[in-house]
Structure 1
Amino acid sequence: MITLVLGGDVNIQGRATPATAFERLNPLLQGADLRFVNLEGAVDAPVAEALTAAAIDVVSCANDLSSVASLPVLDRAGIAHCGAGATPDAAHAPAVLDRSGETVAFLAYTALRSRGQSALPDFPGVAQAFATTAYQPDPRVAEIPGRPPLVRTAPVPEHLDRLVSDVRQAKASNDHVVVSMHWGLPGPELTEYQVTYGRAAIDAGADLVVGHGPHTIQAVEVHRGRPILYSLGNLVFDWPAMRGRHVDGLLAGCMFGAEPRLELIPVRRNADNECEPLAGEDASKVLRYFADVSALRSTKVSVHEGIASVSGLGVGA
Structure 2
Amino acid sequence: MLVILIIILLALLVIVGNPLDNNDDTFTSSSLNSEDKGNLSISITGDVMFGRKTPAVLGEGNPYRYVSNVIGSSDLLIVNTENPFTTSSNAVKPDVPLKASPEYIDLINGTNYTVLSANANNHVFDYGIEGMQDSIENLNSKNIAHIGAGNNKAEATEPFVMEKNGHKITVFNYMDSENFAEYSQEIMPKATDNTPGYSAWDDNESPKQIQQARENGSDFIIVYTHYGNEYSRTPNEKQVDISHKAIDAGADTVVGSHAHVTQGMEVYNGKPIFYNLGNFIFDQSNPATHRAYFVNFDVRGENVTANIYPVDIINYLPHYMDQSSGRALLEELNPQCEQLEITDNGTGIIKFNITNETKK
TM-score where L is the length of structure 1: 0.82
Q: When you count strand as a share of all residues, which structure comes out higher?
A: 1
Shift of 1:122: 2.5
Q: Following superposition of structure 1 onto structure 2, how do residues 7-22 of structure 1 map, counting pairs within 5 Å?
A: 7-13=45-51, 14-16=54-56, 17-18=58-59, 19-22=61-64
Contact 1:216 1:233 in 2 (8 A): yes
Contact 2:261 2:279 in 1 (8 A): yes
Residue of structure 2 equivalent to 1:59: 117
Residues 1:303 and 2:342 aligned together: yes
Q: Could you tell me which of 282, 290, 303 is aligned with 1:259?
A: 303
Distance 1:228 1:108, change over 3 A: same
Contact 1:178 1:209 in 2 (8 A): yes
Q: Letter of the aligned partner of 1:289 in structure 2?
A: E
Residues 1:278 and 2:321 aligned together: yes
Q: Could you tell me which of 96, 103, 111 is aligned with 1:46?
A: 103
Residues 1:102 and 2:167 aligned together: yes
Shift of 1:242: 4.5
Q: Following superposition of structure 1 onto structure 2, how do residues 1-317 of structure 1 map, counting pairs within 5 Å?
A: 1-13=39-51, 14-16=54-56, 17-18=58-59, 19-43=61-85, 44-55=101-112, 57-67=115-125, 68-69=132-133, 70-111=135-176, 112-113=179-180, 114-116=183-185, 117-129=189-201, 159-173=202-216, 174-185=218-229, 186-238=231-283, 241-242=284-285, 244-256=287-299, 257-270=301-314, 272-290=315-333, 293-295=334-336, 299-304=338-343, 305-310=345-350, 315-316=356-357
* Aligned positions, number: 281
Aligned-partner Cα distance in 2 for 1:193–1:36? 23
Q: What RMSD in Å do the two structures reach over aligned CA positions? A: 2.1
Contact 1:251 1:267 in 2 (8 A): yes
Shift of 1:10: 0.8
Distance 1:47 1:299, change over 3 A: farther
Gaps of 5+ in 1: 130-158
Deviates more, 1:189-198 or 1:94-103: 94-103
SS for the counterpart of 1:316 is coil
Distance 1:22 1:313, change over 3 A: same
Deviates more, 1:228-237 or 1:55-64: 55-64
Residue of structure 2 equivalent to 1:150: none
Aligned-partner Cα distance in 1 for 2:109–2:242? 31
Aligned-partner Cα distance in 2 for 1:194–1:169? 22
Deviations 1:99-126 (A, max 9, x none): 2232211111111445332112322110
Contact 1:7 1:37 in 2 (8 A): yes
Moved over 6 A (4+): none
Distance 1:312 1:49, change over 3 A: closer
Of structures 1 and 2, the larger Rg is shown by 2
Deviations 1:188-244 (A, max 9, x none): 322111111101101111111110111111111111111111111110113xx5564
Aligned-partner Cα distance in 1 for 2:285–2:317? 13
Residue of structure 2 equivalent to 1:144: none
Contact 2:68 2:110 in 1 (8 A): no
Report the identity percentage: 23
Aligned-partner Cα distance in 2 for 1:182–1:50? 22
Deviations 1:65-116 (A, max 9, x none): 1142211111121221111111011111101122223221111111144533
Aligned-partner Cα distance in 1 for 2:335–2:304? 18
Contact 2:151 2:195 in 1 (8 A): yes
Aligned-partner Cα distance in 2 for 1:218–1:244? 15
Contact 1:222 1:312 in 2 (8 A): no
SS for the counterpart of 1:246 is helix
Aligned-partner Cα distance in 2 for 1:83–1:58? 11
Deviates more, 1:167-176 or 1:177-186: 167-176
TM-score where L is the length of structure 2: 0.73
Aligned-partner Cα distance in 1 for 2:267–2:275? 11
